[in-house]
Chain A
Amino acid sequence: MKIRQISVFLENRPGRLSALCRTLAEAGINLSTLTLAETGEFGLLRLITPDPAKAQQVIEQAGYAATATEVVALQVPDRPGGLASVLQVLEAHGLSVEYMYAFAMRAGGDAVMVFRFDDMDRALTVLQAAGVSVSKSVDLFGA
């Protein structure tokens, strides 16, 4: 199933990232995982949290520009070629990955990775048909 990711615009200047993390910690927001994509001048901080709506609210109230995006978390077998096997399924169906990053926790013996596709719905159908485990948010954050 799809989960909501919050993306935050950050200028590429020292202290910007830690300031945002402090804001979130002070509001009691738990971060499940985060990743920073950047150009020379600015970056997008993408984060996954159990309560994305609240996180977005806190972030925006602190004066940041933020937007929500849907992504999926996939369980990727933690062995050589594990990721390749997932990517092969996507490639076979002509689906492209916009970006992906690792989730901090693991599910059983598998690594969990966060994916964003240009066609999210079709990607989900294809992946499920191919037997790739798609994490539900309950799995990720605990019931």
Chain B
Amino acid sequence: MIRNLWNDLDGTFFPESALDYMPADRLREVQLQRLKAVTALAYERVALFRERMDAKGVKPGDVRTLDDVRLLPFAAKTDLRDTYPYGLFAVPMSEVVRLHASSGTTGKPIVVGYTAPDMEVWKQVIMRTLYAAGFSRGDVVQNMFGYGLFTGGLGLHDGIEGIGATVIPISGGNSERQIMVMKDFGVTAVSCTPSYFIHLIEVAGKLGIDFKRDLKVKRGVFGAEPWTDQMRQFIETASGIKAYDIYGLSEIIGPGVAAECGCQSGLHVFEDHFLVEIVDPKTLEPVPEGQEGELVITTLSKQAMPVIRYRTRDITAIEARPCACGRSIRRIRRISRRSDDMFIIRGVNVFPSQIETALLKTEASLPHYQIVLTRKSGLDRMEVRVEVTGEMLRDRLSEMEGLQRRFAHSIEQITSLHTDVILVQPGTIPRSEGKAKRVLDHRNDSV
């Protein structure tokens, strides 16, 4: 009977996925055992965790139930930055077999490390991710996540090989070549960011290639950025493939934290390796079950870089009701927004820091600015208001209009989005505590 439940989509038995169906009480036991172990490891080996726990007066022995995770201090991205590069590592470098780094949006990158067993766990969770999305041996997978320091490309790569499928390690970029390979190599499945795939659908159209008629692609896993049901609908309708959401972050492991099953109604968290909590991003108190809040993750099996109560900034909710697929591991709702400033417009992720870079490229100093998002008849619009300074000011209207155009052009080069740049008087953008509110999102104010 149970074995039927393990039949993922096309009726094949995948032993790796058996853990997805572990009885819930057994799963909680495994989690508690691992939570105790990882807390002890972090306390003994990582100064930052030890100092924070000491400051709170918490010892590893205080963790007796899963809820006791709430006794432990939080960690944030800034902690990885502040301890750059290896400050959070819990093993000597001789144990570390892989390093990855995320570029970050400003300043130094963050560095993450893996022991050989960490690499094995990573491969396993990616295999479970792919099986849940119906990938299997025989698939030809075009992996368009970036290879290199980014965890996306190589993370998916090992898992694709792990399930015995054929991997094409093409990485991102060069859209026309992507389409050519997809067609000529008989690609049946893809992996990339949802916005890049939407871009590819457009490119294919321009090349006169019909996704449904000319290509064999049947399914894809998409992640590394928040996306919406509307984007999925567009992808599935325009290309005829099944689009599955996958979730992960480098600080935790990379891709492979959570993934959608055939039901496409939330992402199953690989709870035997990751303990998830949802907290109110302001109070940091747990929210009632099923309610939205910030996702907080504790790694349960990571050796090289265990992370306790990592604040992801991603907003979601835990879905505790059982999924029709039979998996016992719980789901989180699809992540479509983040608690920090990043926003998504027309399927493109935009960080205020990108706008800053664009403004800095145009003028030598960074003016005060504000991003205003509006929606008119279903179309999202981005407006960037820039305060004119004495240094920027020229005595000719044509020069000021030229400045406006240069700002818009520079923003478009970096974000590939058209922007309306509005020049405003100094001091007109409201500031709170000396810091301006960077993004005003009015898109849901009226329909």
CA A11 to CA B426, docked complex, whole Å: 10
A10/B395 in contact, CB under 8 A: no
Instruction: Contacts A42-B400, A44-B395 given; indicate if A67 touches B425 (C-beta within 8 A).
Output: no
CA A68 to CA B314, docked complex, whole Å: 49
B395/A9 in contact, CB under 8 A: no
A55 → B minimal CB distance (Å): 14
A66/B393 in contact, CB under 8 A: yes
Give a binary string over B278-320; 1 marks a CB under 8 Å from any A CB, 0 the rest: 0000000000000000000000000000000000000000000
B425/A10 in contact, CB under 8 A: yes
Residues of A within 8 A of B396 (CB): 44, 98
CA A11 to CA B404, docked complex, whole Å: 14
A65/B400 in contact, CB under 8 A: no
Tell which of B390, B392, B423, B426 touches A42, judged by Cβ atoms closer than 8 Å.
Answer: B423
B397/A38 in contact, CB under 8 A: yes
Residues of B within 8 A of A38 (CB): 397
CA A98 to CA B399, docked complex, whole Å: 12
B425/A16 in contact, CB under 8 A: yes
Residues of B within 8 A of A43 (CB): 397
Number of interface residues of A (CB under 8 A): 23
CA A65 to CA B423, docked complex, whole Å: 11
B403 → A minimal CB distance (Å): 11
| Chain B, residue nearest A66 (CB) | B390
| Chain A, residue nearest B428 (CB) | A11
Number of interface residues of B (CB under 8 A): 18
B426/A64 in contact, CB under 8 A: yes
Residue of A42, A46, A65 contacting most chain B CB atoms (<10 Å): A65
A44/B426 in contact, CB under 8 A: no
Residues of A within 8 A of B423 (CB): 9, 11, 41-42
Tell me, yes or no, whether A128 is within 8 Å of chain B by CB: no
Residues of B within 8 A of A46 (CB): 395
A37/B393 in contact, CB under 8 A: no
Instruction: Contacts A9-B393, A60-B390, A67-B394 given; indicate if A44 touches B425 (C-beta within 8 A).
Output: no
B397/A65 in contact, CB under 8 A: no
B394 → A minimal CB distance (Å): 7
Restricting to A1-36, which residues have a CB under 8 Å from any CB of B?
5, 7, 9-11, 16
Tell me, yes or no, whether B389 is within 8 Å of chain A by CB: yes
Restricting to B389-431, which residues have a CB under 8 Å from any CB of A?
389-390, 392-397, 400-401, 422-428
A63/B426 in contact, CB under 8 A: yes
B395/A65 in contact, CB under 8 A: no
Tell which of A11, A16, A63, A67 touches B393, judged by Cβ atoms closer than 8 Å.
Answer: A67
Residues of B within 8 A of A (CB): 388-390, 392-397, 400-401, 422-428
A-B contact sample (7 more), CB < 8 A, given A39-B401, A44-B400, A65-B426: A11-B423, A39-B400, A44-B395, A60-B390, A63-B427, A64-B425, A98-B396
Residues of A within 8 A of B (CB): 5, 7, 9-11, 16, 37-39, 41-44, 46, 60, 63-67, 69, 98, 116
